[in-house]
Amino acid sequence: MEVKNNKLYFNNISAENLAKKYGTPLYVYEAATIWERYHSLVDHIQYPHLKVHYAAKANANPAILKIIKDLGGGIEAVSRGKIELALKAGFKPSQIIYTCNGAEVDELKYIIKKGIRINIDSLDQLETWGKLNPNSNVSLRLNLDIGAGSHIYITTGGQKSKFGIHISNIKDAKKIAQKYNLTIIGIHQHIGSDVLNPQVFMKAIKALMKVSQHFGDLESINFGGGFGVPYKPEQKPLDTKKFAQFFDKALNKFVKEYGKELDVLIEPGRYLVAESGTLLTTVTDIKSNPSRTFVSTNTGMNHLIRQAMYFAYQKISNASKVKGTKKKVTVVGNICESADMFAEDRTITSPKKGDILAIHDSGAYGYTMSSFYNARVRPAEVLIDKGQP
Ligand code: LLP
């Protein structure tokens, strides 16, 4: 993405031309950004048995899944639907890991039939799994009382969180495993999402390594995802080099203590795709009252719900006129809800009717969380790869 003649471009195609060709609202993804982010996260890590399982809940567009496949990654899937999308994109069952709380028996039967690895989320799930599939291998998703995230709703550790087998239940989990002759070959943890502070990761990584000593048959240890992106102008990107240095050091120590080199898994979602995506929308209406100017667009919380759901901040620019006279505006959607707002009192280049606005960093948890609310259809999606849509 770059600015030419004061307009936003994706390689050689302007946002306005993309909007003309495909209509708006439109999700535009840039393949090059995904490649870049993948390498920046992974390349600094020296540990030889690192496996990246992309959290497909962030964005399961088939073209994006294919990029992840070409990059050599696997998939973290939360449902049968995500598994089917991954299989369709060409991933082998052995490249997919399934993690779901409250999974239905039929879904577990499907996982067993396909031979897909599972991170068991609760003692009940472990019991059900044991009955369905005794003498098998399992991994456990643990909740070690460490949670983090840029909003309480995306924090997935700690006693207020529904996720994982709490640390206080480990003994019981081992008993159930014994009852059904299950071998616990993996432990997993995902503390939350959109974390930019490396200290938090370090704490969580150390805690999972420590708890691994309770499990003698491990083949893998999975640190989940959560790597944040700088949505706000004042935020700094995650220092992936520093993270890798810490990670390698901790892993080397861990290998010595555990006495065996395990597969080490991470499950990034947002980090790989958020910044690759832009939601383009057309300004349809502008109105002012004594305190605010509202800029209405032809998209809404039905297409991008992060602002309404987590008070999330995403940058917005005027793709038709990147620089110029600025105005403080409230950018809203066309949905019949007061939470349908993308930015409150935000200063952007003064928009006029028909301008194309770009809502940046929308590649993760954008389209995947979209709905048919108000009977408005979902936006189209287009991938720019090697300069071409
Ligand atoms: N692994 C597990 C088990 C997860 O539950 C998740 C995300 C990830 C990995 C990937 O996390 P990431 O690297 O993307 O932070 N809709 C929210 C985010 C929800 C994340 C759910 N779990 C948002 O728009 O911010």
- Examine the pLDDT at 313 and tell me if it is beyond 90: yes
Can you list the positions of beta strands (E) in 47-146?
50-55, 74-77, 96-99, 117-120, 137-143
Measured in residues, the chain has a length of 389
Q: And the tokens for 191? A: 């503390």
Find out whether 342 and 348 touch, Cβ atoms under 8 Å.
no
pLDDT at 388: 87
Question: Mutation test of ligand 1: which of 190, 310, 314 has the most ligand atoms closer than 8 Å to its C-beta?
Answer: 190
Read off the pLDDT of each residue in 143-154 and give the average, rounded to a whole number: 93
CA of 342 to the centre of ligand 1 (A): 21
User: Cα–Cα distance between 348 and 53 in angstroms, integer?
Assistant: 37
In angstroms, what is the C-alpha Rg of the chain?
22
Find the helix or strand (DSSP H, E) in which 165 lies.
Answer: strand 165-166
CA of 58 to the centre of ligand 1 (A): 7
C-alpha distances in angstroms, 142 versus 3, 99, 351, 358, 371? 46, 11, 48, 39, 31
**Nearest CA-CA partner of 305 in 231, 358, 229, 370:** 370
Q: Could you give the percent of the chain with pLDDT greater than 90?
A: 97
Find the helix or strand (DSSP H, E) in which 349 lies.
Answer: strand 341-349
CA of 352 to the centre of ligand 1 (A): 36
Find out whether 117 and 95 touch, Cβ atoms under 8 Å.
no
CA of 147 to the centre of ligand 1 (A): 13
User: Cα–Cα distance between 332 and 339 in angstroms, integer?
Assistant: 9
Q: Residue 231: what are its φ and ψ, rounded to 5°?
A: -70, -40
CA of 151 to the centre of ligand 1 (A): 12
pLDDT at 386: 87
Locate the ligand 1 atom nearest the alpha carbon of residue 364 and give its number.
Answer: 24
C-alpha distances in angstroms, 42 versus 75, 317, 364? 15, 31, 19
- Examine the pLDDT at 198 and tell me if it is beyond 90: no
- Examine the pLDDT at 317 and tell me if it is beyond 90: yes
User: Cα–Cα distance between 137 and 237 in angstroms, integer?
Assistant: 38
H-state helical runs in 240-389: 240-258, 270-273, 306-310
Find out whether 25 and 300 touch, Cβ atoms under 8 Å.
no
Question: Mutation test of ligand 1: which of 75, 189, 270, 314 has the most ligand atoms closer than 8 Å to its C-beta?
Answer: 270
Determine the angle formed by the axes of helices 80-88 and 62-71, rounding to 10 degrees.
70
C-alpha distances in angstroms, 323 versus 244, 333, 353? 38, 23, 17
pLDDT at 387: 83
Instruction: Name the residues annotated as catalytic.
Output: 336
Q: What is the pLDDT of residues 106-144, one digit of tens each?
A: 999 999 999 999 999 999 999 999 999 999 999 999 999
pLDDT at 101: 95
Q: Quickly state the pLDDT bin for 258 (edges 50, 70, 90).
A: very high
Question: Mutation test of ligand 1: which of 78, 97, 188, 193 has the most ligand atoms closer than 8 Å to its C-beta?
Answer: 193
- Classify burial at 289, counting beta carbons within 10 Å of its beta carbon; exposed 0-12, middle 13-18, buried 19 or more: exposed
Locate the ligand 1 atom nearest the alpha carbon of residue 119 and give its number.
Answer: 3
* CB-based pocket (< 6 A), ligand 1: 55, 57-58, 76, 99, 154, 190, 193-194, 224-227, 267-271, 306, 310, 364-365, 369
- Classify burial at 116, counting beta carbons within 10 Å of its beta carbon; exposed 0-12, middle 13-18, buried 19 or more: buried
Locate the ligand 1 atom nearest the alpha carbon of residue 99 and give its number.
Answer: 3
